[in-house]
């Protein structure tokens, strides 16, 4: 693959053209693709059959007539902020942000690989923690998923006290290294495990978030050095949720970004109901010439119906890596929208998806004009920009590989 290198100069004309071509991008194609039931790390219990259901891409324009306020996060510390944390000059292209985000984030084996890799690559990543990974098995009755029996969840609890403590050690290292911790909520109730998160009310989400915060407190009592006020957003299980029910609960809990919705191609974040939405892109898998939400389970399902075929690890890893590269190139040379790379820490297909994401992190985060950043860092950067410039970016056509 090739990509443009060097300064952002000489491309103002292209950008102006892209802005005027915005209308072309607003043709929404309805696609039926996988919603995907996925599960988290470690030994996973799935009481429900994976049940990929149809979803529709969210509307990209004119969704609300109500003025919405833009969330504000604390600014970056000028003493330690990287050089790219500044306002763009007129006509200057933004950095290509890549947001590596890991759902569940309970697997210490994955952390042991990702932490040194991220350090070598200058990457900051976001761990979207399943709260019950901080709750040892013997305390599982301290969790009651909305509508579900006490002590029940679709993923495992934290294991032994020692396993929780070991996990906390990795979280502390991650925090010290500048990575961010958000939430994947707790019980991972997807379609089929009713009442699943797609049917939860604001009251249900409030209960789930209250309990998430309680488990963070449990973790803190065991040595977790996580300031709860730095938990600023999350991704819902299997990307399922009703926005009008979820977002009010998020705002009540100080959460200001969501990264659970799906857009056609890579698009700039936008504020919905007072929450920054960093959508997951639906992209093309070049090897299959089919479209899929760019997330590990969905890729797996597209590749072989999510059958466990560890002998195909190398093949699946390469196809996934080539997909990431293709989407990155299209975005870098197009609208430069922050690119969300969402994965679980999992061993599906022999670990093909973790392998692909790690290979991609190693090569992309060191590229020119590319910044692998956390959600908070991108929000801080957006706060520094002229709102009209950000709106120009949002008006550009989605990056479609
Ligand atoms: Zn998940």
User: Within a 10 A sphere around the Cβ of 16, how many other Cβ atoms?
Assistant: 12
Predicted confidence (pLDDT) per residue in 246-300, tens digit: 999 999 999 999 999 999 999 999 999 999 999 999 999 999 999 999 999 999 9
- Mean pLDDT confidence for 160-182: 98
- Mean pLDDT confidence for 331-347: 96
Ion ligand 1 — residues with CB under 5 Å? 103, 237
Q: Output the CA–CA distances (angstroms, integers) from residue 365 to 88, 250, 300, in the order listed.
A: 20, 30, 24
Distance CA 102, CA 203 (A): 26
Spacing, Cα 88 to ligand 1 middle (Å): 35
Spacing, Cα 59 to ligand 1 middle (Å): 24
- Mean pLDDT confidence for 197-226: 98
Predicted confidence (pLDDT) per residue in 300-329, tens digit: 999 999 999 999 999 999 999 999 999 999
Distance CA 396, CA 401 (A): 15
- Mean pLDDT confidence for 166-189: 98
> Token digits for 301?
């399902």
For residue 145, give the 3-state DSSP assignment.
coil
Spacing, Cα 52 to ligand 1 middle (Å): 14
What local confidence, expressed as pLDDT, does residue 253 receive? 96
Distance CA 256, CA 271 (A): 9
Q: What is the mean pLDDT of the chain?
A: 86
Residue 383 or 1, more confident? 383
Spacing, Cα 232 to ligand 1 middle (Å): 18
Spacing, Cα 120 to ligand 1 middle (Å): 27
Spacing, Cα 180 to ligand 1 middle (Å): 17
CATH class of the domain whose range is 94-395: alpha beta
DSSP summary character for residue 266: B
Angle at 190 between CA 158 and CA 351, to 5 degrees: 60
- Mean pLDDT confidence for 357-373: 98
Predicted confidence (pLDDT) per residue in 96-149, tens digit: 999 999 999 999 999 999 999 999 999 999 999 999 999 999 999 999 999 999
Distance CA 116, CA 357 (A): 14
Distance CA 249, CA 204 (A): 9
Residue 14: is its pLDDT beyond 70? no
What local confidence, expressed as pLDDT, does residue 229 receive? 97
Spacing, Cα 294 to ligand 1 middle (Å): 14
What local confidence, expressed as pLDDT, does residue 36 receive? 32
Predicted confidence (pLDDT) per residue in 372-394, tens digit: 999 999 999 999 999 999 999 99
Spacing, Cα 26 to ligand 1 middle (Å): 30
Spacing, Cα 259 to ligand 1 middle (Å): 12
What local confidence, expressed as pLDDT, does residue 150 receive? 98
What local confidence, expressed as pLDDT, does residue 9 receive? 34
Distance CA 46, CA 196 (A): 13
From 244, 266, 246, select the one nearest 258 (Cα to Cα).
246
> Token digits for 372?
């692998």
Residue 57: is its pLDDT beyond 70? no
The percentage of residues in the chain with a pLDDT greater than 90, rounded to a whole number, is: 83
- Segments making up each domain of the chain, as ranges: 94-395
Residue 44: pLDDT band with limits 50, 70, 90? very low
Spacing, Cα 129 to ligand 1 middle (Å): 9
Spacing, Cα 346 to ligand 1 middle (Å): 10
What local confidence, expressed as pLDDT, does residue 11 receive? 39
From 386, 251, 294, 396, select the one nearest 337 (Cα to Cα).
396
> Token digits for 72?
């504000």
Residue 340: is its pLDDT beyond 70? yes
Residue 222: pLDDT band with limits 50, 70, 90? very high
For residue 109, give the 3-state DSSP assignment.
helix
What local confidence, expressed as pLDDT, does residue 173 receive? 98
What local confidence, expressed as pLDDT, does residue 23 receive? 29
Spacing, Cα 18 to ligand 1 middle (Å): 35
What local confidence, expressed as pLDDT, does residue 148 receive? 98
Residue 68: pLDDT band with limits 50, 70, 90? low
Residue 58: pLDDT band with limits 50, 70, 90? very low
Spacing, Cα 241 to ligand 1 middle (Å): 13
Spacing, Cα 39 to ligand 1 middle (Å): 5
User: Within a 10 A sphere around the Cβ of 137, how many other Cβ atoms?
Assistant: 15
> Token digits for 335?
């609208």
Spacing, Cα 123 to ligand 1 middle (Å): 22
Spacing, Cα 48 to ligand 1 middle (Å): 14
> Token digits for 322?
């080539």
């Amino acid at each position: 693959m090739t990509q443009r290198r060097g300064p952002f100069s000489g491309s103002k004309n292209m950008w102006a053209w892209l802005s005027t071509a915005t209308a072309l991008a607003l043709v929404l194609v309805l696609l039926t693709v996988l919603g995907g039931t996925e599960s988290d790390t470690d030994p996973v219990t799935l009481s429900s059959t994976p049940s990929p259901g149809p979803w529709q891409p969210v509307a990209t324009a004119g969704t609300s007539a109500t003025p919405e306020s833009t969330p504000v996060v604390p600014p970056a510390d000028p003493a330690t902020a990287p050089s790219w944390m500044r306002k763009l000059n007129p006509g200057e292209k933004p950095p290509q942000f890549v947001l590596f985000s890991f759902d569940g984030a309970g697997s210490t084996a994955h952390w042991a690989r990702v932490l040194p890799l991220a350090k070598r690559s200058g990457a900051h990543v976001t761990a979207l923690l399943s709260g019950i990974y901080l709750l040892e098995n013997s305390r599982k009755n301290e969790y009651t998923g909305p509508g579900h029996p006490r002590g029940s969840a679709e993923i495992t609890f934290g294991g032994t006290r020692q396993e929780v403590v070991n996990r906390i050690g990795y979280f502390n290292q991650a925090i010290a290294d500048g990575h961010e911790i958000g939430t994947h909520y707790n019980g991972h109730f997807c379609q089929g495990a009713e009442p699943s998160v797609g049917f939860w009310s604001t009251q249900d989400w409030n209960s789930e978030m209250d309990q998430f915060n309680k488990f963070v407190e449990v973790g803190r009592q065991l040595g977790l050095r996580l300031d709860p006020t730095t938990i600023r957003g999350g991704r819902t299980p299997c990307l399922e949720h009703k926005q009008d029910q979820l977002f009010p609960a998020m705002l009540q809990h100080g959460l200001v970004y969501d990264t659970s919705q799906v857009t056609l191609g890579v698009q700039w974040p936008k504020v919905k109901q007072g929450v920054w939405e960093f959508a997951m892109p639906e992209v093309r898998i070049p090897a299959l010439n089919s479209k899929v939400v760019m997330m590990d389970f969905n890729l797996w399902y597209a590749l072989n119906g999510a059958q466990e075929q560890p002998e195909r690890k190398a093949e699946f890893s390469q196809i996934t890596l080539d997909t990431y590269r293709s989407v990155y190139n299209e975005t870098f040379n197009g609208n430069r929208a922050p690119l969300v790379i969402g994965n679980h820490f999992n061993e599906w297909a022999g670990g093909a998806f973790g392998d692909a994401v790690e290979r991609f992190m190693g090569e992309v985060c060191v590229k020119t004009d590319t910044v692998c950043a956390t959600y908070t860092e991108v929000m801080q950067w957006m706060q520094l920009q002229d709102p009209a410039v950000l709106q120009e970016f949002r008006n550009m056509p989605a990056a479609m590989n």
